[in-house]
Structure 1
Protein backbone atom coordinates (compact mmCIF):
# COMPACT_ATOMS: atom_id res chain seq x y z
CA UNK A 1 0.00 0.00 0.00
CA UNK A 2 1.11 3.47 -0.75
CA UNK A 3 0.67 6.36 1.63
CA UNK A 4 -1.86 8.86 0.20
CA UNK A 5 -0.96 11.72 2.54
CA UNK A 6 -0.85 15.10 0.84
CA UNK A 7 2.68 16.31 0.26
CA UNK A 8 3.84 19.73 1.24
CA UNK A 9 5.32 22.05 -1.33
CA UNK A 10 9.10 22.26 -1.26
CA UNK A 11 10.60 25.05 0.80
CA UNK A 12 11.64 27.84 -1.58
CA UNK A 13 15.34 28.60 -1.78
CA UNK A 14 17.25 31.49 -3.28
CA UNK A 15 16.11 35.11 -3.18
CA UNK A 16 13.42 34.60 -0.54
CA UNK A 17 13.42 36.12 2.94
CA UNK A 18 11.32 34.25 5.53
CA UNK A 19 7.99 36.05 5.87
CA UNK A 20 8.44 38.05 2.65
CA UNK A 21 6.83 37.03 -0.61
CA UNK A 22 9.29 36.65 -3.48
CA UNK A 23 9.46 39.62 -5.84
CA UNK A 24 8.74 39.28 -9.53
CA UNK A 25 11.71 39.30 -11.87
CA UNK A 26 11.11 40.92 -15.24
CA UNK A 27 13.33 41.06 -18.33
CA UNK A 28 13.44 44.33 -20.25
CA UNK A 29 15.10 44.12 -23.66
CA UNK A 30 16.85 47.50 -23.73
CA UNK A 31 20.32 48.55 -24.91
CA UNK A 32 23.18 48.83 -22.45
CA UNK A 33 24.15 52.30 -21.27
CA UNK A 34 27.12 54.10 -22.82
CA UNK A 35 30.29 54.13 -20.73
CA UNK A 36 29.97 56.55 -17.81
CA UNK A 37 26.17 56.82 -18.05
CA UNK A 38 23.47 55.22 -15.92
CA UNK A 39 21.07 54.04 -18.63
CA UNK A 40 20.10 54.00 -22.29
CA UNK A 41 17.28 56.12 -23.72
CA UNK A 42 15.03 53.06 -23.89
CA UNK A 43 15.61 52.31 -20.21
CA UNK A 44 14.69 55.89 -19.28
CA UNK A 45 11.45 55.66 -21.23
CA UNK A 46 10.54 52.28 -19.64
CA UNK A 47 11.16 53.56 -16.11
CA UNK A 48 9.14 56.75 -16.60
CA UNK A 49 6.21 55.02 -18.35
CA UNK A 50 6.05 52.07 -15.96
CA UNK A 51 6.53 53.90 -12.65
CA UNK A 52 4.87 57.31 -13.01
CA UNK A 53 1.91 59.20 -14.49
CA UNK A 54 1.78 62.49 -16.43
CA UNK A 55 2.52 65.53 -14.25
CA UNK A 56 4.15 63.40 -11.51
CA UNK A 57 7.39 64.63 -9.97
CA UNK A 58 10.48 62.47 -10.61
CA UNK A 59 13.80 62.94 -8.84
CA UNK A 60 16.62 62.30 -11.32
CA UNK A 61 19.91 61.24 -9.68
CA UNK A 62 21.32 59.57 -12.81
CA UNK A 63 24.36 60.32 -14.94
CA UNK A 64 23.49 61.27 -18.52
CA UNK A 65 20.51 62.93 -20.21
CA UNK A 66 18.43 59.79 -20.87
CA UNK A 67 16.02 60.03 -17.93
CA UNK A 68 15.63 63.80 -18.36
CA UNK A 69 14.65 63.25 -22.00
CA UNK A 70 12.04 60.68 -20.99
CA UNK A 71 10.66 63.00 -18.29
CA UNK A 72 10.31 65.91 -20.73
CA UNK A 73 8.92 63.73 -23.51
CA UNK A 74 6.19 62.32 -21.27
CA UNK A 75 5.20 65.58 -19.54
CA UNK A 76 6.48 64.66 -16.11
CA UNK A 77 8.34 67.11 -13.88
CA UNK A 78 11.86 66.68 -12.48
CA UNK A 79 13.95 67.61 -9.46
CA UNK A 80 17.64 66.97 -9.93
CA UNK A 81 19.27 66.30 -6.59
CA UNK A 82 19.09 65.22 -2.97
CA UNK A 83 22.58 66.22 -1.89
CA UNK A 84 22.03 67.24 1.72
CA UNK A 85 20.96 64.55 4.21
CA UNK A 86 18.03 66.58 5.55
CA UNK A 87 17.02 68.15 2.22
CA UNK A 88 13.40 67.82 1.20
CA UNK A 89 11.87 68.50 -2.17
CA UNK A 90 9.16 71.15 -2.34
CA UNK A 91 6.72 68.26 -2.80
CA UNK A 92 7.04 64.48 -2.58
CA UNK A 93 7.95 62.55 -5.72
CA UNK A 94 6.38 59.49 -7.30
CA UNK A 95 9.73 58.17 -8.50
CA UNK A 96 13.40 58.57 -7.57
CA UNK A 97 15.91 57.06 -10.03
CA UNK A 98 19.59 56.60 -9.24
CA UNK A 99 22.55 54.70 -10.50
CA UNK A 100 24.80 53.01 -7.98
CA UNK A 101 26.74 54.30 -6.22
CA UNK A 102 24.93 57.65 -6.00
CA UNK A 103 26.84 60.82 -6.95
CA UNK A 104 28.01 61.57 -3.44
CA UNK A 105 28.80 57.88 -2.73
CA UNK A 106 26.62 57.86 0.39
CA UNK A 107 26.42 54.79 2.55
CA UNK A 108 23.61 52.46 1.53
CA UNK A 109 21.27 53.24 4.43
CA UNK A 110 22.06 56.96 4.34
CA UNK A 111 20.99 57.14 0.70
CA UNK A 112 17.64 55.47 1.39
CA UNK A 113 17.14 57.58 4.51
CA UNK A 114 17.39 60.63 2.22
CA UNK A 115 14.99 59.16 -0.33
CA UNK A 116 12.18 57.91 1.87
CA UNK A 117 10.76 61.24 3.13
CA UNK A 118 10.83 62.60 -0.44
CA UNK A 119 8.51 59.86 -1.76
CA UNK A 120 4.74 59.87 -1.88
CA UNK A 121 3.16 56.85 -0.19
CA UNK A 122 3.30 54.16 -2.86
CA UNK A 123 6.16 55.95 -4.64
CA UNK A 124 9.22 54.06 -5.87
CA UNK A 125 12.99 54.27 -5.81
CA UNK A 126 14.62 52.63 -8.85
CA UNK A 127 18.28 51.76 -8.28
CA UNK A 128 20.26 50.76 -11.37
CA UNK A 129 23.25 48.49 -10.75
CA UNK A 130 25.75 47.08 -13.21
CA UNK A 131 25.19 43.32 -13.49
CA UNK A 132 28.63 42.28 -12.32
CA UNK A 133 28.40 41.90 -8.53
CA UNK A 134 25.99 39.23 -7.28
CA UNK A 135 26.16 40.43 -3.65
CA UNK A 136 25.42 44.12 -4.29
CA UNK A 137 21.67 43.74 -5.04
CA UNK A 138 21.24 41.87 -1.74
CA UNK A 139 23.11 44.60 0.16
CA UNK A 140 20.98 47.30 -1.48
CA UNK A 141 17.70 45.52 -0.66
CA UNK A 142 18.73 44.92 2.97
CA UNK A 143 19.71 48.58 3.42
CA UNK A 144 16.45 49.78 1.84
CA UNK A 145 14.39 47.55 4.13
CA UNK A 146 16.19 48.93 7.18
CA UNK A 147 14.96 52.41 6.24
CA UNK A 148 11.35 51.33 5.76
CA UNK A 149 11.28 50.71 2.01
CA UNK A 150 9.92 47.46 0.55
CA UNK A 151 11.42 45.40 -2.26
CA UNK A 152 8.78 45.48 -5.01
CA UNK A 153 10.36 44.21 -8.24
CA UNK A 154 13.65 43.17 -9.84
CA UNK A 155 14.19 44.08 -13.47
CA UNK A 156 17.04 42.59 -15.45
CA UNK A 157 17.96 44.57 -18.55
CA UNK A 158 19.37 42.59 -21.44
CA UNK A 159 20.49 43.63 -24.91
CA UNK A 160 17.93 41.41 -26.62
CA UNK A 161 14.78 39.61 -25.46
CA UNK A 162 14.76 35.90 -24.72
CA UNK A 163 13.31 33.86 -27.57
CA UNK A 164 10.62 31.30 -26.96
CA UNK A 165 11.79 27.73 -27.29
CA UNK A 166 15.47 28.58 -27.62
CA UNK A 167 18.07 28.19 -24.95
CA UNK A 168 19.78 31.47 -25.42
CA UNK A 169 22.19 33.24 -23.15
CA UNK A 170 20.74 36.49 -21.85
CA UNK A 171 23.31 39.25 -22.07
CA UNK A 172 22.24 41.05 -18.87
CA UNK A 173 23.93 44.42 -18.38
CA UNK A 174 21.86 46.12 -15.63
CA UNK A 175 19.88 45.10 -12.56
CA UNK A 176 17.10 47.53 -11.63
CA UNK A 177 15.84 47.19 -8.08
CA UNK A 178 12.41 48.75 -7.57
CA UNK A 179 11.81 49.65 -3.93
CA UNK A 180 8.63 51.25 -2.66
CA UNK A 181 7.43 53.28 0.24
CA UNK A 182 4.27 51.78 1.73
CA UNK A 183 0.94 53.37 0.98
CA UNK A 184 0.35 54.49 4.56
CA UNK A 185 2.22 57.39 6.11
CA UNK A 186 4.11 57.03 9.35
CA UNK A 187 4.60 59.65 12.00
CA UNK A 188 7.47 61.92 11.10
CA UNK A 189 7.14 61.54 7.34
CA UNK A 190 5.80 65.07 7.02
CA UNK A 191 3.61 64.36 3.99
CA UNK A 192 0.19 63.33 5.22
Structure 2
Protein backbone atom coordinates (compact mmCIF):
# COMPACT_ATOMS: atom_id res chain seq x y z
CA UNK A 1 0.00 0.00 0.00
CA UNK A 2 1.25 3.54 0.65
CA UNK A 3 4.94 3.93 1.39
CA UNK A 4 3.80 6.42 4.01
CA UNK A 5 0.41 5.15 5.20
CA UNK A 6 -2.34 7.37 3.87
CA UNK A 7 -0.02 9.71 1.97
CA UNK A 8 1.85 9.88 -1.33
CA UNK A 9 4.40 8.92 -2.54
CA UNK A 10 3.55 5.45 -3.80
CA UNK A 11 5.42 3.15 -6.18
CA UNK A 12 5.71 4.65 -9.68
CA UNK A 13 5.65 2.36 -12.70
CA UNK A 14 6.28 3.29 -16.35
CA UNK A 15 4.25 1.54 -19.06
CA UNK A 16 4.98 1.81 -22.76
CA UNK A 17 1.63 2.17 -24.50
CA UNK A 18 2.24 2.96 -28.14
CA UNK A 19 -0.66 4.47 -30.06
CA UNK A 20 -1.77 3.68 -33.56
CA UNK A 21 -4.62 4.27 -35.97
CA UNK A 22 -7.57 6.26 -34.72
CA UNK A 23 -6.63 6.44 -31.03
CA UNK A 24 -3.82 8.99 -31.33
CA UNK A 25 -5.73 11.56 -29.28
CA UNK A 26 -7.79 9.22 -27.10
CA UNK A 27 -7.34 9.46 -23.33
CA UNK A 28 -7.37 5.66 -23.11
CA UNK A 29 -5.74 4.09 -26.16
CA UNK A 30 -6.47 0.54 -27.29
CA UNK A 31 -3.15 -0.71 -25.99
CA UNK A 32 -3.61 0.99 -22.61
CA UNK A 33 -7.10 -0.52 -22.33
CA UNK A 34 -5.71 -4.01 -22.89
CA UNK A 35 -2.94 -3.52 -20.40
CA UNK A 36 -5.30 -2.27 -17.68
CA UNK A 37 -7.61 -5.23 -18.15
CA UNK A 38 -4.70 -7.69 -18.20
CA UNK A 39 -2.94 -6.25 -15.15
CA UNK A 40 -5.90 -5.71 -12.81
CA UNK A 41 -8.32 -8.50 -13.63
CA UNK A 42 -8.38 -12.14 -14.61
CA UNK A 43 -10.58 -14.26 -16.88
CA UNK A 44 -14.05 -14.47 -15.38
CA UNK A 45 -13.69 -11.22 -13.40
CA UNK A 46 -16.08 -8.28 -13.57
CA UNK A 47 -14.95 -4.88 -14.91
CA UNK A 48 -16.96 -1.64 -14.62
CA UNK A 49 -16.10 0.77 -17.43
CA UNK A 50 -16.63 4.50 -16.84
CA UNK A 51 -14.28 5.64 -19.63
CA UNK A 52 -15.31 7.84 -22.55
CA UNK A 53 -17.10 5.65 -25.11
CA UNK A 54 -16.56 2.62 -22.83
CA UNK A 55 -13.33 1.67 -24.57
CA UNK A 56 -12.56 -1.33 -22.36
CA UNK A 57 -15.28 -3.47 -23.93
CA UNK A 58 -13.15 -5.16 -26.61
CA UNK A 59 -10.33 -5.97 -24.20
CA UNK A 60 -12.78 -7.39 -21.67
CA UNK A 61 -14.67 -9.53 -24.17
CA UNK A 62 -11.51 -10.88 -25.78
CA UNK A 63 -10.04 -11.62 -22.36
CA UNK A 64 -13.09 -13.37 -20.96
CA UNK A 65 -14.03 -10.63 -18.49
CA UNK A 66 -17.54 -9.45 -17.70
CA UNK A 67 -17.85 -5.87 -18.98
CA UNK A 68 -20.36 -3.42 -17.49
CA UNK A 69 -20.60 0.09 -19.02
CA UNK A 70 -21.22 2.89 -16.51
CA UNK A 71 -21.94 6.61 -16.70
CA UNK A 72 -23.00 9.63 -14.67
CA UNK A 73 -26.43 11.21 -14.94
CA UNK A 74 -26.85 14.98 -15.15
CA UNK A 75 -27.45 14.90 -11.38
CA UNK A 76 -24.04 13.18 -10.92
CA UNK A 77 -25.59 9.86 -9.94
CA UNK A 78 -23.56 6.83 -11.03
CA UNK A 79 -25.38 4.23 -13.13
CA UNK A 80 -23.89 0.81 -13.85
CA UNK A 81 -25.40 -0.83 -16.91
CA UNK A 82 -26.15 -4.44 -17.69
CA UNK A 83 -23.31 -6.73 -18.64
CA UNK A 84 -22.18 -6.30 -22.25
CA UNK A 85 -23.32 -9.37 -24.20
CA UNK A 86 -20.78 -11.66 -25.77
CA UNK A 87 -20.26 -10.98 -29.46
CA UNK A 88 -21.15 -13.67 -32.00
CA UNK A 89 -18.40 -15.81 -33.47
CA UNK A 90 -16.64 -14.10 -36.36
CA UNK A 91 -17.62 -10.62 -35.20
CA UNK A 92 -15.02 -7.96 -36.10
CA UNK A 93 -14.72 -5.56 -33.17
CA UNK A 94 -11.97 -3.34 -34.41
CA UNK A 95 -9.68 -5.14 -36.77
CA UNK A 96 -6.04 -4.64 -35.80
CA UNK A 97 -6.64 -2.27 -32.86
CA UNK A 98 -5.87 -5.03 -30.34
CA UNK A 99 -4.54 -8.57 -30.11
CA UNK A 100 -6.74 -11.63 -29.71
CA UNK A 101 -4.39 -12.71 -26.93
CA UNK A 102 -2.99 -10.12 -24.51
CA UNK A 103 0.24 -12.15 -24.38
CA UNK A 104 0.94 -10.94 -27.93
CA UNK A 105 1.69 -7.54 -26.40
CA UNK A 106 2.62 -8.12 -22.79
CA UNK A 107 3.87 -11.68 -22.39
CA UNK A 108 2.73 -14.27 -19.89
CA UNK A 109 3.54 -12.26 -16.75
CA UNK A 110 0.24 -10.35 -16.73
CA UNK A 111 -2.09 -13.29 -17.22
CA UNK A 112 -2.82 -16.23 -14.95
CA UNK A 113 -5.83 -18.25 -16.06
CA UNK A 114 -5.39 -20.81 -13.29
CA UNK A 115 -7.80 -21.17 -10.36
CA UNK A 116 -7.54 -18.75 -7.47
CA UNK A 117 -6.98 -20.61 -4.20
CA UNK A 118 -9.28 -19.75 -1.29
CA UNK A 119 -11.12 -17.23 -3.43
CA UNK A 120 -14.84 -16.95 -4.06
CA UNK A 121 -16.06 -16.94 -7.69
CA UNK A 122 -16.14 -13.44 -9.13
CA UNK A 123 -18.25 -14.04 -12.23
CA UNK A 124 -21.48 -12.07 -12.50
CA UNK A 125 -24.50 -13.97 -13.84
CA UNK A 126 -24.67 -13.88 -17.61
CA UNK A 127 -28.04 -12.16 -17.50
CA UNK A 128 -26.47 -8.91 -16.28
CA UNK A 129 -26.65 -9.65 -12.55
CA UNK A 130 -25.61 -7.29 -9.81
CA UNK A 131 -21.83 -6.59 -9.82
CA UNK A 132 -21.79 -5.31 -6.22
CA UNK A 133 -19.04 -6.92 -4.18
CA UNK A 134 -17.84 -8.85 -7.25
CA UNK A 135 -16.04 -6.22 -9.29
CA UNK A 136 -12.28 -6.55 -9.73
CA UNK A 137 -11.66 -3.35 -11.69
CA UNK A 138 -13.33 0.04 -12.10
CA UNK A 139 -11.77 2.44 -14.62
CA UNK A 140 -12.74 6.10 -15.06
CA UNK A 141 -11.19 9.07 -16.82
CA UNK A 142 -10.26 12.08 -14.69
CA UNK A 143 -11.58 14.72 -14.35
CA UNK A 144 -15.03 13.16 -14.10
CA UNK A 145 -16.50 16.52 -15.15
CA UNK A 146 -13.99 18.87 -16.79
CA UNK A 147 -16.40 21.78 -17.08
CA UNK A 148 -17.73 22.11 -13.54
CA UNK A 149 -15.60 21.81 -10.41
CA UNK A 150 -18.59 21.34 -8.11
CA UNK A 151 -20.01 18.60 -10.33
CA UNK A 152 -16.59 16.98 -10.48
CA UNK A 153 -16.42 16.80 -6.68
CA UNK A 154 -19.95 15.44 -6.49
CA UNK A 155 -19.17 12.76 -9.05
CA UNK A 156 -15.98 11.80 -7.25
CA UNK A 157 -17.95 11.33 -4.04
CA UNK A 158 -20.53 9.19 -5.84
CA UNK A 159 -17.81 7.12 -7.54
CA UNK A 160 -15.88 6.46 -4.32
CA UNK A 161 -19.05 5.54 -2.45
CA UNK A 162 -20.05 3.18 -5.27
CA UNK A 163 -16.59 1.56 -5.30
CA UNK A 164 -16.90 0.61 -1.65
CA UNK A 165 -19.94 -1.44 -2.68
CA UNK A 166 -18.79 -2.63 -6.11
CA UNK A 167 -15.20 -3.71 -5.47
CA UNK A 168 -14.34 -7.07 -4.07
CA UNK A 169 -11.53 -7.14 -1.45
CA UNK A 170 -8.34 -6.30 -3.33
CA UNK A 171 -10.27 -4.87 -6.29
CA UNK A 172 -8.94 -1.68 -7.88
CA UNK A 173 -10.19 1.71 -9.02
CA UNK A 174 -8.04 3.31 -11.73
CA UNK A 175 -8.38 7.01 -12.57
CA UNK A 176 -6.84 7.84 -15.96
CA UNK A 177 -5.86 11.51 -15.94
CA UNK A 178 -6.74 13.24 -19.21
CA UNK A 179 -6.24 16.74 -20.55
CA UNK A 180 -9.37 18.49 -21.90
CA UNK A 181 -9.27 19.32 -25.61
CA UNK A 182 -7.48 22.60 -26.24
CA UNK A 183 -5.92 22.70 -22.76
CA UNK A 184 -2.21 22.57 -21.95
CA UNK A 185 -1.15 19.97 -19.42
CA UNK A 186 0.12 21.47 -16.15
CA UNK A 187 1.26 19.92 -12.87
CA UNK A 188 -1.66 18.94 -10.67
CA UNK A 189 -1.92 18.12 -6.97
CA UNK A 190 -3.93 14.93 -6.50
CA UNK A 191 -3.75 14.98 -2.71
CA UNK A 192 -7.48 15.88 -2.39
CA UNK A 193 -8.36 12.84 -4.51
CA UNK A 194 -6.10 10.59 -2.43
CA UNK A 195 -7.59 11.95 0.80
CA UNK A 196 -11.15 11.47 -0.47
CA UNK A 197 -10.34 7.90 -1.50
CA UNK A 198 -8.82 7.17 1.90
CA UNK A 199 -11.95 8.49 3.59
CA UNK A 200 -13.96 5.96 1.57
CA UNK A 201 -11.74 3.03 2.53
CA UNK A 202 -9.62 2.97 -0.63
CA UNK A 203 -5.83 2.94 -0.31
CA UNK A 204 -3.49 4.61 -2.81
CA UNK A 205 -1.73 1.60 -4.33
CA UNK A 206 0.28 2.79 -7.32
CA UNK A 207 1.00 5.62 -9.77
CA UNK A 208 1.48 4.57 -13.39
CA UNK A 209 2.98 6.73 -16.13
CA UNK A 210 1.76 5.37 -19.47
CA UNK A 211 4.22 6.75 -22.03
CA UNK A 212 3.43 6.95 -25.74
CA UNK A 213 6.59 8.87 -26.73
CA UNK A 214 9.21 7.57 -29.14
CA UNK A 215 11.98 5.58 -27.51
CA UNK A 216 15.60 4.78 -28.27
CA UNK A 217 16.22 1.44 -26.62
CA UNK A 218 15.38 1.98 -22.97
CA UNK A 219 15.72 5.78 -23.20
CA UNK A 220 12.70 8.02 -23.64
CA UNK A 221 13.24 11.01 -25.92
CA UNK A 222 11.48 13.85 -24.15
CA UNK A 223 13.73 16.93 -24.56
CA UNK A 224 14.30 19.02 -27.67
CA UNK A 225 17.40 21.22 -27.92
CA UNK A 226 17.23 24.91 -28.87
CA UNK A 227 18.69 24.06 -32.27
CA UNK A 228 15.98 21.46 -32.90
CA UNK A 229 13.26 23.92 -31.94
CA UNK A 230 14.72 26.59 -34.22
CA UNK A 231 14.87 24.11 -37.07
CA UNK A 232 11.23 23.24 -36.50
CA UNK A 233 10.27 26.91 -36.45
CA UNK A 234 12.05 27.54 -39.75
CA UNK A 235 10.46 24.48 -41.32
CA UNK A 236 6.95 25.58 -40.30
CA UNK A 237 7.53 29.26 -41.11
CA UNK A 238 6.35 30.29 -37.66
CA UNK A 239 7.96 33.28 -35.94
CA UNK A 240 6.60 32.32 -32.52
CA UNK A 241 4.93 29.14 -31.43
CA UNK A 242 4.27 27.03 -28.37
CA UNK A 243 5.24 23.41 -28.76
CA UNK A 244 3.63 21.06 -26.28
CA UNK A 245 3.19 17.35 -26.81
CA UNK A 246 1.31 15.25 -24.29
CA UNK A 247 3.40 12.08 -24.33
CA UNK A 248 1.95 10.25 -21.34
CA UNK A 249 -1.10 9.59 -19.25
CA UNK A 250 -1.05 9.44 -15.45
CA UNK A 251 -2.96 6.60 -13.83
CA UNK A 252 -3.90 6.72 -10.14
CA UNK A 253 -4.57 3.24 -8.78
CA UNK A 254 -6.57 2.73 -5.59
CA UNK A 255 -7.49 -0.55 -3.97
CA UNK A 256 -10.17 -1.56 -1.53
CA UNK A 257 -8.74 -2.07 1.94
CA UNK A 258 -9.40 -5.35 3.69
CA UNK A 259 -7.98 -7.65 1.01
CA UNK A 260 -4.64 -8.31 -0.61
CA UNK A 261 -4.10 -7.54 -4.27
CA UNK A 262 -3.61 -10.63 -6.37
CA UNK A 263 -0.38 -10.14 -8.24
TM-score (norm: length of structure 1): 0.72
Kindly indicate whether residue 15 of structure 2 is the aligned counterpart of residue 28 of structure 1: yes
State the SS of the aligned residue for 1:174: strand
Match among 40, 46, 70 for residue 51 of structure 1: 40
Where structure 1 has 5 or more consecutive residues not aligned to the other structure, the ranges are 1-14, 185-192
Instruction: Give the match for residue 175 of structure 2.
Output: 127
Where structure 2 has 5 or more consecutive residues not aligned to the other structure, the ranges are 82-128, 146-150, 180-184, 224-245
Runs (4+) of structure 1 moved beyond 4 Å? Answer: 15-21, 85-89, 161-167
Mapping for residues 6-17 of structure 1, pairs under 5 Å: none
Match among 126, 144, 161 for residue 102 of structure 1: 144
TM-aligned CA deviation for residue 18 of structure 1 = 6.5
Partner Cα separation in structure 2 for residue 85 and residue 163 of structure 1: 43
Question: Could you report, residue by residue, the CA deviation over 1:2-34 in whole angstroms, capped at 9, with x for unpaired residues?
Answer: xxxxxxxxxxxxx97576574110111113654
User: Is the CA contact 1:129–1:176 (under 8 Å) kept in the aligned structure 2?
Assistant: yes
Instruction: Give the match for residue 190 of structure 1.
Output: none
Partner Cα separation in structure 2 for residue 18 and residue 183 of structure 1: 14
TM-aligned CA deviation for residue 51 of structure 1 = 0.3
TM-aligned CA deviation for residue 168 of structure 1 = 3.8
TM-aligned CA deviation for residue 157 of structure 1 = 1.1
CA RMSD of superposed structures (Å): 3.2
| Pair 1:168–1:58, CA change in 2 (3 A) | same
TM-score (norm: length of structure 2): 0.55
Q: Choose 1 or 2 for highest CA Rg.
A: 2
Instruction: Give the match for residue 114 of structure 1.
Output: 162
Partner Cα separation in structure 2 for residue 56 and residue 98 of structure 1: 17
Partner Cα separation in structure 2 for residue 27 and residue 72 of structure 1: 26
